[in-house]
Structure 1
Amino acid sequence: MYKRILIPTDGSDVAEAAVDHALDLAEKYDAEVHALYVVDIDSVNFSLGTEQVDRLKQGRFDEMGELKEQADEATGVVAESGAERGIDVVEHVSGGRPHKLISDYAENHGIDLIVMGSHGRGGVRRALLGSVTERTLRSTHVPVLVVDYIDED
């Protein structure tokens, strides 16, 4: 049923909530897993200079120091969890608008399922804040499994 599963991650607890679900499905269907970290160009535009943003757009993350470390750590969590289960994970880092790049990555890599975490917000809060998960749902034809993150605090 599923041959390739995509886990978009930013390293947050919300994103990591989806990892176990995705890996369970990958085990069951002997699927390939892809971990994607997207540097949101819009949110880093204010803190980085034009030259650094251009590097991100060109995919030159090795020159980005701390940002590259965050990306490697986020996809590394997925890869390590996969390795514990005997599942190889393809790690990828990209820069741009998260929902657009998630959708494009899914289309370009033959992804059968996207597994994402969500805060599970509703109503006005959701409308005001927007959501990468919601935007992804609207921008792809690939099925999306949304895993609600429940804060244990």
Structure 2
Amino acid sequence: MSETMYKRILIPTDGSDVAENAVDHAMVLAKQFDAEVHALFVADTDAVHYALGTEQVDRIRQGRFPEMTELREDAEAATGYVRERAEAAGLEFVERHAGGQPHNVIADYARENDIDLVVMGSHGRAGVRRALLGSVTERTLRSTHVPVLVVDYRAEKE
């Protein structure tokens, strides 16, 4: 196995426990390969389209959430968790907030940034699972030719 197998690892995150568990796995690989870590938060514009006006949806697609405090806070917290872990490990870090259909944004980002590996949770905040995988994860697998490591999360029983 080449020491430079993974130069850039993308971690799409929504800040959920499932996503944070995927971050833990990604950091082990990133540290092993001294890879640059990319954290990507995607606001699903399909999910918010009807509640917001066209101008606000366009801003979200551009990754600008200035007047949408809750959305901006969610994005910053989600990618901030990845940043903290990457900095603690001494790894280079890139952060991006975007809007659109998550699977398409993830696939486009991976292609445009020469990502070698995508590491993501099996399902996100919605908690709804489609068969075995969440719909964003499932669609991402079909939308990109970059290898995707899907990390499952099993909550401990109380």
Match of 1:88 among 83, 89, 92: 92
The structure 1 segments of at least 4 consecutive aligned residues displaced by more than 3 Å after TM superposition are none
Superposition deviation, residue 63 in structure 1? 3.4
Superposition deviation, residue 58 in structure 1? 3.0
User: What do residues 3-24 of structure 1 show as CA deviations (whole Å, max 9, x unaligned)?
Assistant: 0000000011111110011111
Quick one: distance in 1 between partners of 2:58 and 2:114? Answer: 28
Would you say how many aligned residue pairs link Structure 1 and Structure 2? Answer: 148
- Identity, % of aligned pairs? 69
State the TM-score, normalizing by the size of structure 2: 0.87
Match of 1:100 among 98, 104, 108: 104
Match of 2:122 among 112, 118, 121: 118
Say which structure is richer in helix.
1
Instruction: Provide the secondary structure at the position in 2 that maps to 1:59.
Output: coil
- Report what 2:13 is aligned to: 9
Tell whether 2:30 aligns with 1:26: yes
Quick one: distance in 1 between partners of 2:68 and 2:44? Answer: 14
- Report what 2:58 is aligned to: 54
User: What do residues 133-153 of structure 1 show as CA deviations (whole Å, max 9, x unaligned)?
Assistant: 110000000000010111224
Tell whether 2:87 aligns with 1:73: no
Quick one: distance in 1 between partners of 2:62 and 2:26? Answer: 29
> Any gaps of 5 or more consecutive residues in structure 2?
124-128
8 A Cα contact 2:35 2:92, kept in partner: no
Quick one: distance in 1 between partners of 2:95 and 2:62? Answer: 17
Output the amino acid matched with 2:143: S
- Report what 1:122 is aligned to: none
Quick one: distance in 2 between partners of 1:15 and 1:59? Answer: 20
- Report what 2:126 is aligned to: none
Output the amino acid matched with 1:113: L
